[in-house]
């Protein structure tokens, strides 16, 4: 018999062929749990097939299907459901078997004081939540690992076609994460920032390779195509339902706090904090990196650039964090939040005209 929901989120099924026992149990427990009852193993199995119970409490001796067979079927159908016995025919042997065979969490005997039954069911509900939380966590870890793998695939895709970009996204990720940690960002923000940094130049897939590798100065038309890469990156990533604003971080990584950046000319707090951190790390790596038309300009020049642009072009907090951590970050070791991508070289490719 299905009853109206009570205050508890999880549901409990009581199985007993003695209607008087069930009525007394429901009266004492109905306030605390969402209780259903069944008078036989068959009726109870029907409910179990349709309902996700946290706890099932069953009598042992019932006409038709007995309690042991019923609980064994419950374990097969709903492995997470916590199973208990409440019986007036307990023997030492059947109690030991029930626990040792693993088909019950608690073995209770009638008459069972209300408080003892309630305490046992509460422990069962807590056990059920623990099982579900662990399963959820495992699932989330798997999804996170899969997502990180896909991101690394994207990174390799961008860097494979342009030797000057090889390693750039990985180095920018390592520096961005160190800066964000120094600024006190939480783990969730770090995960989103790390993934965005790993693919921040993915839009360059649409830029002809000869523009990226051109040894001379770019024409205005060529440069405007290169400047489309944040928007192209946004268009590639936006359909993916990431739990972080990855597409918007990528879109905004060339914005500047005074509104002089692109593609939208956003200013100050209009730019996501992650994008403001990424912008500083990107410029620092770009200035240090070799380009087709000039060698890398070195760390001192890179740090001078962000010091000069602090507050005007670059977020002051991000600049301070970069200056604090830059000497301690081993960018060549890559980011620590996911496995290091394969095939990354040492030479970096500047992110077009830095600053
Ligand atoms: Fe870029």
Query: pLDDT value at position 208?
Result: 86
How far, in Å, is the centroid of ligand 1 from the Cα of 230? Answer: 6
How far, in Å, is the centroid of ligand 1 from the Cα of 7? Answer: 53
Sign of the Cα pseudo-torsion (68, 65, 89, 123, in order): positive
Report percent pLDDT > 90 for the chain: 48
Model pLDDT for residues 313-324, shown as the tens digit of each residue:
999 999 999 999
Model pLDDT for residues 173-220, shown as the tens digit of each residue:
999 999 999 999 999 999 999 999 999 999 988 888 888 777 778 888
Report residues near ion ligand 1: CB below 5 Å.
201, 351
Query: pLDDT value at position 92?
Result: 77
How far, in Å, is the centroid of ligand 1 from the Cα of 141? Answer: 29
How far, in Å, is the centroid of ligand 1 from the Cα of 145? Answer: 25
**Higher confidence at residue 76 or residue 278?**
278
pLDDT of residue 282 exceeding 70, the answer is yes
How far, in Å, is the centroid of ligand 1 from the Cα of 254? Answer: 6
d(CA 342, CA 336): 14
Element (H, E) at 58: strand 55-58
- Domains of the chain plus CATH, in order, are 11-134 (3.40.50.2300), 161-333 (1.10.3210.10)
pLDDT of residue 266 exceeding 90, the answer is yes
- Give me the mean pLDDT over the 17-41 stretch: 82
Report percent pLDDT > 70 for the chain: 89
How far, in Å, is the centroid of ligand 1 from the Cα of 341? Answer: 19
Contact 233, 251 (CB under 8 A): yes
Q: How confident is the model at residue 153 (pLDDT cuts 50, 70, 90)?
A: confident
How far, in Å, is the centroid of ligand 1 from the Cα of 188? Answer: 23
How far, in Å, is the centroid of ligand 1 from the Cα of 198? Answer: 11
Q: How many CA atoms lie within 13 A of 340 on its CB side?
A: 12
pLDDT of residue 342 exceeding 70, the answer is no
Query: pLDDT value at position 163?
Result: 67
Query: pLDDT value at position 74?
Result: 93
Give the neighbor-by-neighbor strand order of the sheet with 34-38.
34-38, 11-15, 55-58, 82-87, 106-109
Q: How confident is the model at residue 145 (pLDDT cuts 50, 70, 90)?
A: confident
Name the region of 116 (left: φ>0; alpha: ψ -120 to 50; beta: rest): alpha
Query: pLDDT value at position 113?
Result: 84
Query: pLDDT value at position 355?
Result: 29
For residue 209, cis peptide bond before it (omega within 30 degrees of 0): no
Model pLDDT for residues 101-132, shown as the tens digit of each residue:
767 898 888 888 888 888 999 999 999 999 99
Query: pLDDT value at position 20?
Result: 79
How far, in Å, is the centroid of ligand 1 from the Cα of 146? Answer: 25
Contact 155, 338 (CB under 8 A): no
Query: pLDDT value at position 97?
Result: 75
Q: How confident is the model at residue 331 (pLDDT cuts 50, 70, 90)?
A: low
Q: How confident is the model at residue 140 (pLDDT cuts 50, 70, 90)?
A: confident
**Higher confidence at residue 349 or residue 85?**
85
β pairing state of 34-38 and 11-15: parallel
Sign of the Cα pseudo-torsion (101, 103, 107, 108, in order): negative
How far, in Å, is the centroid of ligand 1 from the Cα of 347? Answer: 16
How far, in Å, is the centroid of ligand 1 from the Cα of 279? Answer: 8
Q: What is the mean pLDDT of the chain?
A: 85
How far, in Å, is the centroid of ligand 1 from the Cα of 253? Answer: 7
How far, in Å, is the centroid of ligand 1 from the Cα of 185? Answer: 23
How far, in Å, is the centroid of ligand 1 from the Cα of 290? Answer: 15
How far, in Å, is the centroid of ligand 1 from the Cα of 201? Answer: 5
How far, in Å, is the centroid of ligand 1 from the Cα of 150? Answer: 20
d(CA 240, CA 260): 29
108 strand-pairing partners: 86
């Amino acid at each position: 018999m299905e009853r109206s929901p009570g205050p508890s989120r999880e549901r409990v099924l009581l199985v007993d062929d003695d209607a008087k026992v069930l009525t007394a149990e429901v009266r004492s427990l109905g306030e605390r749990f969402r209780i259903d009852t069944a008078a036989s193993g068959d009726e109870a199995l029907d409910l179990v097939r349709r309902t996700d119970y946290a706890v099932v409490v069953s009598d042992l001796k019932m006409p038709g299907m007995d309690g042991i067979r019923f609980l064994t079927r419950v374990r097969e159908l709903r492995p997470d459901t916590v199973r208990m016995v409440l019986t007036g025919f307990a023997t030492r042997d059947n109690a030991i078997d029930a626990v040792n065979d693993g088909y019950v969490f608690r073995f209770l005997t009638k008459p069972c004081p209300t408080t003892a039954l309630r305490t046992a069911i509460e422990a069962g509900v807590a056990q059920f939540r623990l099982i579900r939380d662990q399963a959820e966590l495992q699932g989330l870890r798997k999804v996170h690992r899969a997502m990180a793998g896909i991101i690394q695939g994207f990174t390799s895709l961008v860097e494979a076609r342009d030797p000057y970009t090889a390693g750039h996204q990985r180095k920018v990720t390592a520096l961005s994460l160190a800066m964000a940690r120094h600024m006190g960002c939480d783990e969730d923000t770090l995960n989103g920032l790390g993934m965005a940094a790993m693919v921040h130049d993915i839009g360059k897939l649409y830029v002809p390779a000869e523009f990226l590798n051109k040894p001379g100065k770019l024409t205005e038309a060529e440069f405007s195509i290169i400047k489309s890469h944040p928007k192209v990156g946004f268009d590639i990533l936006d359909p993916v339902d990431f739990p972080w604003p990855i597409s918007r971080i990528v879109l905004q990584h060339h914005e500047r706090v005074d509104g002089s950046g692109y593609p939208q000319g956003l200013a100050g707090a209009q730019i996501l904090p992650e994008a403001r951190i990424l912008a500083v790390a990107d410029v620092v790596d770009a200035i240090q990196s070799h380009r087709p038309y000039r060698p890398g300009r070195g760390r001192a020049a890179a740090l001078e650039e962000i010091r000069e642009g602090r507050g005007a072009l670059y977020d002051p907090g991000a600049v301070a964090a970069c200056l604090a951590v830059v000497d301690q970050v081993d960018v060549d070791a890559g980011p620590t939040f996911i496995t290091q991508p394969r095939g990354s070289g040492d030479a970096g490719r500047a992110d077009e005209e830095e600053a």
